[in-house]
Structures are given as C-alpha cells and as structure tokens.
Amino acid sequence: MREVVDSDILRQGSFEFIRIHEQSTYTLELFMAYDSIIIDSGNRDFVEKLVRAVRTHNQPDVYLKPIFLLKSSKVEDPLIGNLIDGVIFSINQLEIIADYVRQILLRINDFVFAKSISLEAEVISRIIYLMVSRDKNELFAYLYLNSGLGYVYPEASIYFTPRDEHKLLNVMKTAEIEGLFTSEFNDRIYLCTNCETGILSYREVCPKCSSANSKAEDLVHHFSCAYVGPISDFQNAIDDELNCPKCNKFLNHIGVDYDKPALLHTCNKCGHKYQDYHVKAKCITCYHDNDVENLIPRTISNYYLTKKGRNIAYHGFISTSKDFNEIPGTVKFDVFKTMLEYEVERLKQNDATSNIAYLKISNAGELYSRIGIDRQKTLVTEMIKILRKNLRSSDFIAFYNASTLILSLNEIPTKIANNVLDDVVKLTATLLKKNFRNIEIEIDHHAQPLNTELSHEIQLQNLIKKFDQDA
C-alpha cells in the first residue's frame, strides 16, 4: 500500500484529476478535493468495487464525481460501462476529456439537493441526479449474472443488495406513476416466492416425490394387438429389433405397425411411472424449491426520463405522493380529482359557492432538511389535524406533493375560505414554534371559487400553475 503521491495528481487546465491504483490508500472523502477520478487498473473486480463505492457514497460531491478508466481495452461490463464516464488509453488524453468533465460539473452546479423522506424518494432522486448530470435520458436493464434478478439497471441497482434488488422494481413503478419516467417492455422474469430473487434452476420432477432423478423412454403402441408399453418391453439384448411382448410379432415400420405416442418417465427414487412431469424451480439464493405455477411474474422495463423527471435535479425530490397516502384526513390525489368533478356537477344544480384552494409550505426544502424525516411527517400530520378541526366534513384535502396540499372548501364564500386558511396557517406556525426553536415555516395559501363553466381538470391545472409559478 502507498499513499496518494504528487505524481497521482494530474493537472489539465484548471482541473485536477486524482489517479487511483490498486495499491493506493485513500478515503472516499478525499475525492471531494478533486474534479475527477482516474482509475488506473485493468482488474475488473477492483474497478467495480471502487466505482460502486463512489456512486453509493452519501455525499453528492463524491457520488456524482466524473470517473474515467485508464486501461488498454474497452469495457464490456454493462454495470461498469454505465457508471463510469469514459475510458482513456493514456494520460495524454486528459485534454480530450477535460471539456466533458467541465460539462458534468457545470450541470451539477445548478442542482438542488434536498433530503428525501423515504428510501424510495432518495433512490429516485439519486438516479435522476446521476442521469441528468450526464445528460442521459435512458435507464436500461441489462442481463447480468451478479444480480438478484438476472437483470441490472446500472444507475439504480447499485443501491440494493442482490437479495433486495426486487424492491427496485417497485421503486421504478412509483417513479413512473409520479410521471418521472416512461417505460417500454424489455422482458418478463419470474421470481422466487420466498425471497423474490430471480436466479432459479428449473427441473422436470416426479409428480409423486418431486425427485428430479428419473429416466425417460418412449412409449410404444403396437397397432395390430393394441399393446402399449415402454420401448424396453419390446427390445432384446442382441439386436435392434423390436418384438411385441404380447403377440410376439416383429415391429417393422413406425407409423405403419406402431407409433410412439408419448414419453414415459420412471422415477429412480420412488419408482413411480408418469407421462406428465411437474416443473420445479429451485432458488439459488434461498434454496426454496418453487412450483413454477406460483413463481412471481415481473416485467423488466427500460425507462426514459421525462421532462418532469429531469426537473427533479433542479428542485430536489423530497417524497413520493405514496409517502403521504396514509396520513389520516386526506384522500389520494386521484380520489380528490373525482370528488372535485362531482362537486362541480353538484354546483350546477345548486346556487352555492364552493372553492378550490392550496396550502404550500414555500420553504419546505430547507424546513424539512432541518427538522428531519420523522418530525416532518409529524408536522404534516399535525397540520392536517388543525385543518380538519377548522374545516367541515364535506371539505376534502389531498397532497399534491410533499409540500403542497390541495383543498376543496365547499359551500362557503371564497372570502371566508381564505380566512379559514389564514387561521390554519397561523395555528400551524404557532405549533411549529412551540416544538422547534429558530425554525420558521412559510406557508402560502390561496382559495378561488369553483366555476361551473369550466371542467374540474382545467380548474385544477390553473390552480397548480398558480403555485408552481410562485415557486
């Protein structure tokens, strides 16, 4: 082992690259001081370990660092290939990559990093930071041996151990529901019912004792006497001729004298003879022997980042709407939309005013990272409680995102609705002050009357435009 020495610091223009060999001693934090990492090694395992360690580090200044491989051949491994930024064949090529490094670092400069409240939101935002900093739009699945699923998403699977990689499929499903990615079918896989990994060994087994130890032989049907039996009954020890054990006739032509209607399996363990075998899939990870009918089918998709997804890098991603679904007193956003549609219909028959409104914590990013994940949920839950106390049961509330609530305040004048929201904002601020010193909460709110001339969709969009602009 040797320390990083002066000759491992390579300068190109205003950039400093740090060169790492297999013998180097370093901490990952050391990389923060440099613009890019050059891995000088042809050892695949060493490279993978280092690349994974960098990309899964908790500091953006480490995990987004440009990485180049200095070696004499191309990278065939899809995991390494997608996690590094390129290969150079000599250090004289630093000049060529300097501009690319500059582009990556400039993009990262514009990012906003916010603390996510759930593992899902955390993984989604890290995938997006990595992709957007490289101007990538595609998150593809590659067939991969060292993976719990048999498929790897290089920029995403690294956050999971092989045993947990199936969880990524749910995370990506959530990301798609949130409109951050679109997807395209790639393949279908089947997972172990016990541990949800996908490296399985398929065997034909005895339906009685499940042993894979069996022999198979043709079943022979002699037309003239109708005898059916395994081919061994027709064979002799001397020549290849077949003679019927029932009528002793010589079997000449297949299709004319006899045919082979099926395969007959004989179990070497229990002696059972059978034509229809079972198929079992033994899990290489947990050894569970699955009936194939019960395996868990999952779709492997290729994903494409949407414009909304790309924007995550510039605003941060605190939570998925799923994280708030279970907060009592609120309905899901989809349900809210349906209820709003009914309310607009109802107003057409009534001469009343109902309102659509929002409450937005405008300093949510800063606030949430200061009070921490658990207390954030408590704060939001308390705020909903205050709201529910001040609203009527016919009013309904949904989370639009982690910092914004959408409300429908029914059958009250708009002015009163705004007053109610004003009170709720004040009560929430007081509550927060009581629990957290030196932390201010800033809440914007606005209520406007529902219009019976416009569809609920358009009115909702107009409202969203209003608070998205305020941001």
Q: Which residues sit at the interface with Zn ion, rule CB under 5 A?
A: 192, 194-195, 206, 208-209, 211, 222, 225, 227, 244, 246-247, 267, 269-270, 272, 283, 285-286, 288
Nearest to 361 by CA among 335, 341, 387, 337: 387
CB of 285 to Zn ion, least distance (A): 5
Token pair recorded at residue 231: 């081919």
Shorter beta-carbon distance to Zn ion: residue 146 or 461: 146
Shorter beta-carbon distance to Zn ion: residue 229 or 329: 229
DSSP state of 30: G
CB of 278 to Zn ion, least distance (A): 10
CB of 256 to Zn ion, least distance (A): 14
Residue 72, Cβ neighbours under 10 Å: how many? 8
Shorter beta-carbon distance to Zn ion: residue 5 or 145: 145
Residue 382 CA from chain centroid, whole number = 31
Concatenating the DSSP letter of every residue in 50-99 gives HHHHHHT-S-HHHHT--EEEE-SS----HHHHHHS-EEESSGGGHHHHHH
Write the burial class of residue 191 (CB in 10 Å: 0-12 exposed, 13-18 middle, 19+ buried).
buried
Nearest to 318 by CA among 374, 379, 368: 368
CA distance 60 to 64: 6
Shorter beta-carbon distance to Zn ion: residue 209 or 458: 209
CB of 174 to Zn ion, least distance (A): 24
CB of 287 to Zn ion, least distance (A): 7
CB of 411 to Zn ion, least distance (A): 56
DSSP state of 436: S
CB of 404 to Zn ion, least distance (A): 41
CB of 267 to Zn ion, least distance (A): 3
Shorter beta-carbon distance to Zn ion: residue 270 or 416: 270
Concatenating the DSSP letter of every residue in 201-215 gives EEEEE-TTT----EE
Distances (CA, A) of 314 to 370, 422, 448, 461: 19, 30, 29, 22
Concatenating the DSSP letter of every residue in 341-363 gives HHHHHHHHHS----EEEEEEETT
Distances (CA, A) of 240 to 227, 232, 396: 19, 11, 84
Contact 77, 48 (CB under 8 A): yes
Shorter beta-carbon distance to Zn ion: residue 288 or 322: 288
Shorter beta-carbon distance to Zn ion: residue 269 or 310: 269
Shorter beta-carbon distance to Zn ion: residue 209 or 335: 209
